[in-house]
Structure 1
């Protein structure tokens, strides 16, 4: 699988960063000396943390060298390192006041273990703050699932993408078991997209990436054309030409 494309990801930097801002705002009034950004991507969430916790020691981790390179350029006051959050978090030690993760954990398996590992990074009383997309019922996800499972395309994808998120009740039960206190909530963002092509551009940076990487170059335009055709059908343009693009996201805070 090819590495993440930070430039593609940041085409919608404002929209992708807003959930990180909203999550950080739930930490208002909290003091922090050490903060870790798990799955920091190109550093947009780390910059939010730098503003929220001025003077704190910030560590951003990501498994993508391209994202880490972009993050170092975007947030030079923080430390960044390549780290596989699914396997290597315990090696980072503990003592962090805040462990923060914006739109990362959906790519990592075994969330019962992952949440325990993230809580293990904290000092007693520290807080874990997480946001993960939960937009599986939205048209774009249904379209990708339909196309990749169709007779024309399924042979190219012998190992369909697995979504690792738990259900909201499962997160409730897990957090009740492993934390000293927690809060969960969901926010649906309604983005104003300038065109149907903008929706494809958004997903080229995330949800379509594993499928495009698995296709021969000659087949990619045909595959995208089929996705585009269905997007046009199921996301009607408004009278002013814009498209409403709903994006539900799930949040939780948990305390060690």
Structure 2
């Protein structure tokens, strides 16, 4: 799947906040190796390198476009980036902190991968994850219904996932505890106020709509977006101060016992 780094960071304040809420609960003091799985354009990974200047910090992403964008920006000397497929990754023996922010929802069966990763961590190592929990929201429901309609089902069959995209907080907590982690799981629904015309459409263009856009031609994508945008504007009517877009996020942080 191709990604647009510029589109992804368009709503930086809203996309960044869950990362900081997540990593604030990682209490590692002097880690030597830190890995950010699914680092994207690297701007948030850079904050880990600044927080732990004595650590070797590595950002991994499966998107060549994202890694290229990360490498082009100025970043601390202790930070590097590399291409990697999360589905084939295993934690190095000496890693002290692993973070993964809004990535695992793209990986089918990530719950089983998570069990293996946590089992492989050394005692004292930290693992912090965050995934969106809004697959039942109108933004995703309307997208799926349109994709499954007679006009689009032939082109978009099987493109969008829902039921198995993420687990609930309690399920992730159980995975962490079963792996011998001291863990904390929670959820937050951010009431995001987006600005501009077609505000919610512009938001999902950077993430949730990417599978649809990648599956369609430019002309088809324009038609799909036009239909989808009308429905979004009805579900999320703009107000005088902006468009309110509730966004639920699921967090888990744990340290290996």
TM-score of the aligned structures, taking structure 2 as reference length: 0.91
- Name 1:165's counterpart in structure 2: 166
The 10-residue stretch of structure 1 (27-36 or 103-112) with the greater mean CA deviation from structure 2: 27-36
- Name 2:53's counterpart in structure 1: 54
The alpha-carbon deviation at position 235 of structure 1 amounts to 0.6
Mapping of residues 137-176 of structure 1, within 5 Å? 137-163=136-162, 164-176=165-177
- Name 2:206's counterpart in structure 1: 205
Unaligned runs of 5+ residues in structure 2 are: none
- Name 1:81's counterpart in structure 2: 82
Checking the alignment, whether the CA contact within 8 Å between 1:45 and 1:102 is kept in structure 2 is no
Unaligned runs of 5+ residues in structure 1 are: none
4+ aligned runs moved over 4 Å, structure 1: none
The alpha-carbon deviation at position 29 of structure 1 amounts to 6.1
Question: SS at the partner of 2:186?
Answer: strand
- Name 2:244's counterpart in structure 1: 244
**RMSD of the alignment, in Å?**
1.7
Checking the alignment, whether the CA contact within 8 Å between 1:34 and 1:57 is kept in structure 2 is yes
Question: SS at the partner of 2:145?
Answer: helix
Question: SS at the partner of 1:37?
Answer: strand
Question: SS at the partner of 1:96?
Answer: coil
Question: SS at the partner of 1:124?
Answer: coil
Shift in CA distance, 173/120, structure 1 to aligned 2, threshold 3 Å:
closer
Checking the alignment, whether the CA contact within 8 Å between 1:196 and 1:231 is kept in structure 2 is no
Checking the alignment, whether the CA contact within 8 Å between 2:28 and 2:97 is kept in structure 1 is no
Q: Aligned pair count?
A: 252
In 2, the alpha carbon distance for the partners of 1:121 and 1:8 equals 35
The alpha-carbon deviation at position 230 of structure 1 amounts to 0.4
Mapping of residues 66-145 of structure 1, within 5 Å? 66-74=65-73, 75-77=75-77, 78-87=79-88, 89-90=89-90, 93-120=92-119, 122-145=121-144
In 2, the alpha carbon distance for the partners of 1:48 and 1:185 equals 23
Question: SS at the partner of 2:46?
Answer: helix
Checking the alignment, whether the CA contact within 8 Å between 2:169 and 2:186 is kept in structure 1 is no
The 10-residue stretch of structure 1 (98-107 or 25-34) with the greater mean CA deviation from structure 2: 25-34
In 2, the alpha carbon distance for the partners of 1:97 and 1:189 equals 30
Whether 1:177 aligns to 2:205 is no
The alpha-carbon deviation at position 71 of structure 1 amounts to 1.2
The alpha-carbon deviation at position 125 of structure 1 amounts to 1.0
Question: SS at the partner of 2:98?
Answer: strand
Residue by residue over 1:197-232, the C-alpha shift from the partner in whole angstroms, topping out at 9 and shown as x without a partner, is 222121111111110111122212111011110011
The alpha-carbon deviation at position 194 of structure 1 amounts to 0.9
Checking the alignment, whether the CA contact within 8 Å between 2:144 and 2:160 is kept in structure 1 is no
TM-score of the aligned structures, taking structure 1 as reference length: 0.92
- Name 2:25's counterpart in structure 1: 26
